[in-house]
Amino acid sequence: MPKIRVLIVDDAVVFRRLVADELARDPALEVVGTAANGRIALAKMTQVNPEVVILDVEMPEMDGLTTLKELRKTHPRLPVIMFSALTERGAEATLDALALGASDYFTKPASAEGADACLAVIREQLIPQIKALCARDGHAASGAVRRNFIARSPPGPAPPSPAVTRFPPGPVRVMAIGASTGGPNALAEIFSQLPADFPVPIVIVQHMPPMFTRLLAERLSAHSAIPVQEATSGALLEPGMAWIAPGDYHMIVTRDGTQTRLLMHQDPPENSCRPAVDVLLRSLAKVFGHDSLNVILTGMGQDGLRGCELVREAGGQILVQDEATSVVWGMPGAVARAGLADRVLPLSFIADEILRRVRQYQRAT
């Protein structure tokens, strides 16, 4: 199998060398070039013809966002993974990059953490992302770039999905969404189509570190009729509101007499994730039984699969994003292949299907 051709763009020579040396140790990868800024990288594109670009955010002469804008003019489907520091400014810039068409990102460890921490990020996060985005792990979609942050997919009739044999679901009293790679843009598209009078609460797990989840909630809320906020322990679930699990915390729902509240905790990661979709869905299956609607969007890995098994056993409903519109068809693909999904849908049809199901079962109560 041909090696994946990687171009590394970063102004720090030590960091470029560290990443290049580690990637070169993987037999599936080939570093075809490095560049100290975006201007040099753009000049090298036709020479090295990379299959994926690793792009720093803050660089002299031409920064990562400007470089990404120029790349998208000539390479609209080329996977681009952003470097970002775990700072307020870095998180804002990363969300800007995702909105502009970046495929994914990873956070740079602080310099005080040393080379070992950086190598761990490269091995455990960056290399698997490269392989997934370049369809070397069997779970990636064709084409990594999908749409702008609040853009909508073209309209059209939804394709048929295989029917899932199951007992009738209950009325929808809560909706859960799980997402990872590509999730921010997918969430933005869905939330741009939900009305202010959405009749049930929404709980979301998006794989992101601290600070990123708060900023994502603020951005979604700014472009949605539904208020979206980063969740806090004790928050009362109310219709027409949405909560995103904070980075580095699992989120669950609990009964408090006749009310339902959110609880955050820091139990060990599951599926190498905290927050994890499985943790949230387990609690929904226990608390809401067959009264939940669950949506699994684009993302790498299989987080959400075990939770969906429990949701299915409890009688809850499950929608998953299809492969063609997913940045990486890992999480939704795992649920679909397991036969757990009621519908497998393009992103542009998911909001309508959510509204149809919520309103149908609301009318039935």
Which residue in 278, 291, 303, 342 is the catalytic one? 303
Residue 155: burial class (beta carbons within 10 Å; 0-12, 13-18, 19+)? exposed
Which residue in 139, 207, 250, 290 is the catalytic one? 207
What is d(CA 118, CA 10) in angstroms, rounded to the nearest whole number?
14
Q: In the Cβ-directed half-sphere of 188, how many Cα atoms lie within 13 Å? A: 24
Q: Which residues, including other chains, have CB under 8 Å from residue 73's CB and lie 6 or more apart?
A: none
Residue among 76, 89, 335 nearest 212 (CA): 89
Q: Which residues, including other chains, have CB under 8 Å from residue 349's CB and lie 6 or more apart?
A: 158
- Is 141:324 a contact under the CB 8 Å cutoff? yes
Active site residue 207: yes
Active site residue 267: no
Which residue in 180, 283, 326, 348 is the catalytic one? 180
- Identity at 157, one-letter amino acid code: P
Give SS3 for 44: helix
What is d(CA 101, CA 97) in angstroms, rounded to the nearest whole number?
6
- Identity at 84, one-letter amino acid code: S
Q: Which residues, including other chains, have CB under 8 Å from residue 340's CB and lie 6 or more apart?
A: 164, 305, 308, 309, 311, 312, 318
Residue 355: burial class (beta carbons within 10 Å; 0-12, 13-18, 19+)? middle
The per-residue DSSP string of 260-280 comes to: EEEEEE-PPPBTTBSS-HHHH
Active site residue 75: no
- Edge-to-edge strands of the sheet including 104-108? 29-35, 4-9, 52-55, 80-85, 104-108
Question: CA of 47: how far to CAs of 32, 33, 79, 148, in Å?
Answer: 9, 9, 17, 28
Do strands 52-55 and 104-108 pair parallel, antiparallel, or not at all (unpaired)? unpaired
Catalytic residues: 180, 207, 303
